[in-house]
A = this chain, B = another copy of it.
Amino acid sequence: MCPELSISTRTRTTPFNSRVEACGVKAYMVYNHMLLPVIYRSLEEDYWHLCEAVQVWDVSCQRQVEIRGTEAQQLVQLMTPRDLSNAQVGQCFYAPLCDESGGMINDPILIKHSDNHWWLSIADSDVKLWAKGLATGFGLDAQVSEPDIWPLAVQGPKAEELISRVFGEEIRKIGFFRSRMLNYQGTKMLVARSGWSKQGGFEIYVNDMELGGQLWDELFAKGEDLNVGPGSPNLIERIESGLLSFGGDMGYDTTPFECGLDRYVSLDADIKSLSLKALKTRKPKTKLIGLVIDQQVKLIDRRVFSKGEILGEITSDSWSPRYSVHLVFAKCELSLIAGREHVELITSTGEISAVITELPFDFNLLGLRGLKNRPGL
């Protein structure tokens, strides 16, 4: 029996709570002091539905840290080693935030409203306190707040069609990681082509408690023929897609290089960023790798072995129904895995060998042919 989740007033409400419950949510996570629904039918049913149809996700827990002021962009640039000098209004950037030692603080989506106005759509840590502490200490003209914005994600192959029925054909012109301020019932909301899946879709930055519920209902009403349903970030899908979770797959002790986020670090840029100096010299100690097991297993030990030696630990894992393999992310000592092709993991039926691979998984390279659709459909 799984223990229950006790919900107190410390857990902030969202405009969608009652809808999520009415849809029969089965399990939550707590994320940024909020409820994140994670299972409706079953992990696997939710997965196939996400890959085939369209889902509406309450991801209000992706809180917005808002930075305003004449030195807003300066503060944001200080926090990330990714070069933002050419950022355009409406553009979204996946970017690691790092401290002076190069360790990661969070991995938000940065959204530029203007030079003087940014949002950080954050993963699970109180980035507001970090930004505010820096702004206070450095005496920057940058006001940091966490306004009530509750992102609603619409994800899946039919997301564009559904969103166009609510927001109009204009949304088809929004490019990947671009956004526009669109009108909903007389209120302007940011709509971006983004989301924490690789199935395509949008995120609507809902800024009105009441309109949020209305929008949810309208998406369901207008998406009936598209088989719209409730959903959430899905463990199977995000592991297959190689999407990392801050606090699980990487954390304060890891640099972007140690978790494969190299391309989001602008080492040669002429920017004022807290972490650049450290990132130029700090030697990576660990590496986040992929492991593939050619059968369904239950892992009962988080450690990664080779002939009894501990090489690292599992950070996330899931069975992949599409490829019929068990997929694992593992954080390993760089020096201990160099040159290796296999490691051993401990399952409920004993030791098993797993193939080492880069992340994200390249299923072509691995010679795996995925099911396009749910078996039997």
Chain A positions within 8 Å of B, measured between CB atoms, are 2-6, 8-10, 25-30, 33, 38-39, 99-100, 105, 124-127, 129-139, 146, 245-249, 252, 274, 302, 314-316
Contact = CB atoms under 8 A, between A and B. Distances in A.
Report, nearest first, the 9 A-B pairs whose CB atoms are least far apart: A137-B137, A133-B133, A30-B30, A5-B5, A126-B126, A129-B130, A10-B247, A9-B248, A6-B27
Given A5-B27, A133-B133, 9 more contacts: A2-B5, A3-B28, A5-B28, A9-B302, A10-B124, A30-B30, A99-B136, A133-B135, A133-B136
A247 B33 contact: yes
> Which of A6, A27, A146, A316 is most buried by chain B, counting CB atoms within 10 A of its CB?
A6
Contacts of A26: 3-4
Contacts of A138: 137
29 contacts: A2-B5, A3-B28, A4-B5, A5-B27, A6-B27, A6-B29, A8-B245, A9-B245, A9-B248, A10-B29, A10-B246, A30-B30, A33-B124, A125-B126, A125-B129, A126-B130, A127-B129, A129-B129, A129-B133, A130-B130, A130-B132, A131-B133, A132-B133, A133-B134, A133-B136, A133-B137, A134-B137, A135-B137, A146-B252
Nearest to A28: B3
Given A25-B3, A129-B126, A8 B134 contact: no
A9 B133 contact: no
A232 to B, nearest CB: 10
A348 to B, nearest CB: 17
